[in-house]
Amino acid sequence: MSDMTFKQAKEIVERLELSELSIRNSFDSLDHARRSLDDTIIEQKKVLQKLPQKESKIKYLYLIIMLNIGFLAGLFVGKYLL
């Protein structure tokens, strides 16, 4: 170790600094990905909570459409077949 020149020591320090920057960048990317995943999970929970409400609304909408079709069929039968 005492045989190391100043140039070699400087290269080692530069490599260590580069490694430190690389680790910081990786940590920041990992933190950003974690926050993004947390936001996605929160949005997914919101969607799962709203799903039963939307499902019941779709059932009512389907019932209304069937009633309208039945009404139109009744008008058709009453006008043309009777």
Q: What is the pLDDT averaged over residues 50-60?
A: 86
Instruction: Quote the pLDDT of residue 60.
Output: 92
Q: What is the pLDDT averaged over residues 11-31?
A: 93
Task: Classify residue 55 by its DSSP letter.
Answer: H
Distance (Å, whole) CA 59 – CA 64: 9
Distance (Å, whole) CA 10 – CA 18: 12
Distance (Å, whole) CA 25 – CA 33: 12
Instruction: Quote the pLDDT of residue 38.
Output: 95
Helices (H), 1-82: 6-76
Proportion of the chain above pLDDT 70, given as a percent: 96
